[in-house]
Chain A
């Protein structure tokens, strides 16, 4: 039914809001230990798919298996092994970075929490931000604080929504390196939605392209470039968005 080497496995996943079908019959097979990007224009169904994988949104039909377990039946157990970061879901602004990490560390049952926060603070270079209120941070600092929260429990599956949105090129590059190092050292799976094609080409083993709620293409960045005879993923994305055939 579902293979344990798959970090994410969905079967005919569908989400409809009344007459509007946001995600339609999506089958995902994301191998454990890989970095996979979910691409698509606005309204393609990426965020809806992400929300369903996080258990924040109930599918209309279909099955979701995360790390070999049925998400709809075992959400709290699975939630302890995954985490996420999104620029569109805030951490409490009136708590300091340290307080937010303490709160979420407890929610995720992180052992040796203070040591873990110290370790992450150094890796993410937020030691000097720990006493600052989240609401007073710049966009780049918020992203790093949010990433610290998402890595607190050393997740086996990390879901990221536009992980480098609103970051300057230097910080964005630094974050990408950090995420790739995390994958390499932990063997974790990273599943990310992104509009940054350079980022996808650099980081990802696989790419899934969605359009109007459906998966319209998938493969490694190299395979997609070859299929569409293009120089970069941006051109591939535009071909798909504008219905130009491969």
Chain B
């Protein structure tokens, strides 16, 4: 050890250091995925399978029962947008589980990374992974069914953004569940990633749901997004303020989920869960 001088990372500036820590977290997952073809296949597999299954089903039903050509496009658009929501929350869970499986939480949380940097770094990684995962499905949808998700126009950006936010706070809640109950809750956590789907009515009108479930449905931001998608395909006016309601609910739930996540993290630190969550 030749250098007696102690490194002073502060010299790099707090913002630059925060970015480096988030970048370090992202790199950890990049290296993991880049070196693992099974992970790459899994990442691309579900969006393609879901899109193809629903796309072919829809094509068949359209040919058999109706000549309304927009039905296939509507279903494929909904499938892809559902995948945005599910991939974000599933990826958040998966990134956390990778740390648990590799028993790396101790090293990670003993490092200078702050809680908010951990959340932001995970979210960034998750966003990139979701974009990569959905790209082949979007291209295949055009090739197989002649439908491009970009036909939704600029609305697509709003839909995707709102669903990403929805997936993010939901993913935080799922991780909080694991931090609170440990690996005993792992299977429940995986199940939770699909739990919202029936209630957000992506493929059918909210009125299809029983009355009590409709109330639950309207408490979820994604429901308002899919109401807009359905309205756009039906070429009827979009429900007024739907996207604003979705944004407001997302912001509210994001704050609440952040508090729940923080408390679960603090609880894990009190119980020693950061060192034992893998056991």
Chain A contact residues, CB within 8 Å of chain B: 17, 48, 51, 54-58, 76-77, 79-81, 83-84, 86, 89-96, 99, 102-111, 119, 123, 133, 149, 151, 153-154, 156, 178, 181-182, 185-188
Interface string of B89-116 (1 = CB under 8 A from A): 0000000001000111011111111100
Nearest opposing residue in chain A for B24, CB measure: A106
In the complex the two chains form, is B111's CB within 8 Å of A107's CB?
Answer: yes
Which positions 112-138 of chain B face chain A at CB distance < 8 Å? 112-114
> Which of A56, A57, A105, A151 is within 8 Å of B24, CB to CB?
A105
Highest count of chain A CB atoms <10 Å: which of B5, B24, B98? B24
What are 12 contact pairs spanning A and B, CB under 8 A?
A17-B272, A57-B274, A90-B103, A95-B28, A96-B35, A103-B28, A106-B20, A107-B111, A110-B7, A153-B7, A178-B1, A185-B2
Chain B contact residues, CB within 8 Å of chain A: 1-7, 9-12, 17, 20-21, 23-25, 27-28, 31-32, 35-36, 98, 102-104, 106-114, 266, 269-272, 274-275
Contacts A89-B103, A187-B4: A58 and B270 contacting too (C-beta < 8 A)? Answer: yes
Chain A residue contacts of B114, Cβ below 8 A: 76
- The 6 A-B residue pairs whose C-beta atoms are closest, nearest first, are A106-B24, A109-B9, A89-B106, A79-B112, A182-B1, A107-B111
Q: How far is the CA of A114 from the CA of B150 in the complex (A)?
A: 42
Q: How far is the CB of B20 from chain A (nearest CB, A)?
A: 5
> Which of B2, B4, B20, B272 is within 8 Å of A119, CB to CB?
B2
Nearest opposing residue in chain A for B3, CB measure: A154
Q: How far is the CB of B19 from chain A (nearest CB, A)?
A: 9
Chain B residue contacts of A185, Cβ below 8 A: 1-4
Contacts A56-B274, A76-B114: A106 and B9 contacting too (C-beta < 8 A)? Answer: no
In the complex the two chains form, is B102's CB within 8 Å of A94's CB?
Answer: yes
Chain A residue contacts of B266, Cβ below 8 A: 58
In the complex the two chains form, is A56's CB within 8 Å of B269's CB?
Answer: yes
Q: How far is the CA of A109 from the CA of B17 in the complex (A)?
A: 6
Q: How far is the CA of A103 from the CA of B110 in the complex (A)?
A: 14
A-B contact count (CB 8 A): 137
Highest count of chain B CB atoms <10 Å: which of A55, A96, A106? A106
Contacts A109-B9, A185-B4: A104 and B24 contacting too (C-beta < 8 A)? Answer: yes
Q: How far is the CA of A197 from the CA of B104 in the complex (A)?
A: 29
In the complex the two chains form, is A56's CB within 8 Å of B106's CB?
Answer: yes
Nearest opposing residue in chain B for A56, CB measure: B274
Nearest opposing residue in chain B for A54, CB measure: B110
In the complex the two chains form, is B112's CB within 8 Å of A80's CB?
Answer: yes
Chain A residue contacts of B32, Cβ below 8 A: 92, 94-95
Chain B residue contacts of A54, Cβ below 8 A: 106, 110
Q: How far is the CA of A93 from the CA of B5 in the complex (A)?
A: 31
Q: How far is the CB of B120 from chain A (nearest CB, A)?
A: 14
In the complex the two chains form, is B12's CB within 8 Å of A92's CB?
Answer: no
Contacts A56-B269, A109-B112: A102 and B27 contacting too (C-beta < 8 A)? Answer: yes
Q: How far is the CA of A93 from the CA of B110 in the complex (A)?
A: 18
Contacts A17-B271, A108-B112: A92 and B104 contacting too (C-beta < 8 A)? Answer: yes
In the complex the two chains form, is B4's CB within 8 Å of A103's CB?
Answer: no
Q: How far is the CB of B134 from chain A (nearest CB, A)?
A: 24
> Which of B27, B98, B271, B272 is within 8 Å of A103, CB to CB?
B27
Q: How far is the CA of A189 from the CA of B169 in the complex (A)?
A: 42
Contacts A89-B106, A106-B20, A107-B21: A151 and B1 contacting too (C-beta < 8 A)? Answer: yes
In the complex the two chains form, is B275's CB within 8 Å of A57's CB?
Answer: yes
Q: How far is the CB of A193 from chain B (nearest CB, A)?
A: 14
Chain A residue contacts of B102, Cβ below 8 A: 90-94
In the complex the two chains form, is A108's CB within 8 Å of B9's CB?
Answer: yes
Chain A residue contacts of B3, Cβ below 8 A: 119, 154, 185-186
Chain A residue contacts of B20, Cβ below 8 A: 106-107, 109
Chain B residue contacts of A58, Cβ below 8 A: 266, 269-270
Q: How far is the CA of A119 from the CA of B7 in the complex (A)?
A: 14
* 8 extra interface residue pairs, beta carbon distance < 8 Å, beyond A107-B21, A107-B113: A79-B112, A90-B102, A92-B102, A94-B102, A102-B31, A107-B111, A110-B7, A153-B7
